[in-house]
Structure formats: structure tokens, C-alpha cells
């Protein structure tokens, strides 16, 4: 069983100036989400960081919320939290794969994201993984985000512009669609 295995954990990331992290949580299973959040907050605060929390309806909306936050706010990193428990239909695979794919694509664009969306067979597996005194997957996701922020700071300043950039005004939209270029 995974809970009895030992594994290496990186030392906590350290920062010269505080880190601002957005925790995006899908609280469909509220008891699990609350445990994940507790672990994430403890890790962020232990690293001297600050956090905000937003809730979204489900795991599929987590990447979208992170993408919006990146374009419209000033967070250093993100923690994605939630839980998907296998049901009787293939919806489980869709939610697991698409939420993970969305987060991965954002990460490949340079966002610092820790993925703490649990994908499990039953509620007991989720509980064991979520407990902050146990496997603490919320804390692990926060630690991952913090390590990525530390790497980003080490290698250079933050770069905005992830995702599409909307046109500045209606003239540019109309001009672009008619092949006109403004000087």
C-alpha cells in the first residue's frame, strides 16, 4: 500500500520575498477538500507565503480558473485541489484526464502549479490521501507550487501573456478581420 512506502521529499523552498499563492479548490467532497486546503495552507505559511482561496464547481473548472487568474491578477503560483471518485460511468476518466491535461498545459506555458486533485476509487482512499496528518496531498501540492515558484525566481522574472491576448479595441478587431493594418 502506498501509505507504508517511504519516499524522498525535497527540503522546503525558501524565499527572499514573500510568495502569493492562489488555492483553487473544487469542494464537491467538502470534507476531503477541507483537509486538502488545511495541508496546503500550512505549507504555504511555513514557507512565509500568503494565499487566497477560490472555489469552483468541479475539477474541470480548476484549470480555467487558474488561467483566468494568471491573466488578470498577480499570483506567483497556484495550488489545484479537489477530489474525483470513480463512479459507475466513464465520466470519471473524462474529469481526471481533462483536469490533469489542463493543468499540465498551463504548467508547460510557465505557470507554477501544484496539482492536488485526487483521483481515487473510493472515499476512504481520498480520506487517507487528504489528511494533513497523513499523506497530506494538499501540502504536497503546495510544496510543488512553491518549488516551481522558487525555480522561476531563480531563472528570471515573471512573464505575463500566458494564453490568448485580447484585442485592445474594436477598430483592431474590425481592421484585422478585413486585412487592414494600423500604423
Q: What's the pLDDT score for residue 5? A: 73
Q: If pLDDT is split at 50, 70 and 90, which confidence band does 166 have?
A: low
The range of the structural domain enclosing residue 142 comes to 17-177
Q: What's the pLDDT score for residue 156? A: 84
Counting the structural domains of the chain, the total is 1
92-138 per-position pLDDT tens digit: 999 999 999 999 999 999 999 999 999 999 999 999 999 999 999 99
Active site residue 7: no
In whole angstroms, give the CA distance from residue 175 to residue 182. 8
**Does 112 count as an annotated binding residue?**
no
Q: Is 169 or 144 the better-scoring residue by pLDDT?
A: 144
Task: Evaluate if residue 169 carries a pLDDT over 80.
Answer: no
**Does 84 count as an annotated binding residue?**
yes
The DSSP-derived string for 22-59 is: EEEE--SSHHHHHHHHHHHHHHHHHTT-EEEEEE-SSG
**Does 61 count as an annotated binding residue?**
yes
**Does 89 count as an annotated binding residue?**
yes
Q: What's the pLDDT score for residue 28? A: 96
Q: Is residue 149 domain-resident?
A: yes
The answer to whether 162 touches 111, Cβ cutoff 8 Å, is yes
Q: Is residue 182 domain-resident?
A: no
Q: If pLDDT is split at 50, 70 and 90, which confidence band does 177 have?
A: very low
Q: The sheet that has 20-25: what strands, in order across it?
A: 50-55, 20-25, 77-85, 113-120
**Does 124 count as an annotated binding residue?**
no
Q: Is residue 144 domain-resident?
A: yes
Q: What is the mean pLDDT of residues 56-68?
A: 98
3-48 per-position pLDDT tens digit: 567 889 999 999 999 999 999 999 999 999 999 999 999 999 999 9
Q: Is residue 159 domain-resident?
A: yes
Q: Is residue 141 domain-resident?
A: yes
Q: How many CA atoms lie within 13 A of 101 on its CB side?
A: 7
| CATH number of residue 47's parent domain | 3.40.50.960
Catalytic residue among 7, 91, 123, 181: 91
**Does 59 count as an annotated binding residue?**
yes
Amino acid at each position: 500500500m502506498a501509505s507504508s512506502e517511504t519516499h524522498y521529499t525535497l527540503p522546503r523552498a525558501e524565499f527572499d520575498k514573500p510568495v502569493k499563492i492562489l488555492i483553487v479548490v473544487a469542494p464537491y467532497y467538502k470534507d476531503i477538500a477541507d483537509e486538502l486546503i488545511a495541508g496546503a495552507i500550512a505549507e504555504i505559511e511555513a514557507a512565509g507565503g500568503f494565499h487566497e482561496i477560490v472555489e469552483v464547481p468541479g475539477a474541470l473548472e480548476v484549470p480555467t480558473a487558474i488561467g483566468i487568474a494568471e491573466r488578470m491578477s498577480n499570483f506567483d503560483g497556484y495550488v489545484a485541489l479537489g477530489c474525483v471518485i470513480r463512479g459507475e460511468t466513464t465520466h470519471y476518466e473524462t474529469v481526471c484526464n481533462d483536469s490533469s491535461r489542463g493543468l499540465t498545459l498551463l504548467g508547460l506555458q510557465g505557470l507554477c502549479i501544484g496539482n492536488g486533485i485526487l483521483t481515487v476509487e473510493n472515499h476512504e482512499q481520498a480520506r487517507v490521501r487528504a489528511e494533513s496528518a497523513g499523506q497530506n496531498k494538499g501540502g504536497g501540492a503546495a510544496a510543488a507550487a512553491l518549488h516551481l515558484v522558487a525555480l522561476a525566481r531563480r531563472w528570471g522574472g515573471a512573464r505575463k501573456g500566458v494564453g490568448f491576448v485580447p484585442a485592445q479595441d474594436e477598430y483592431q478587431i474590425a481592421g484585422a478581420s478585413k486585412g487592414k493594418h494600423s500604423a
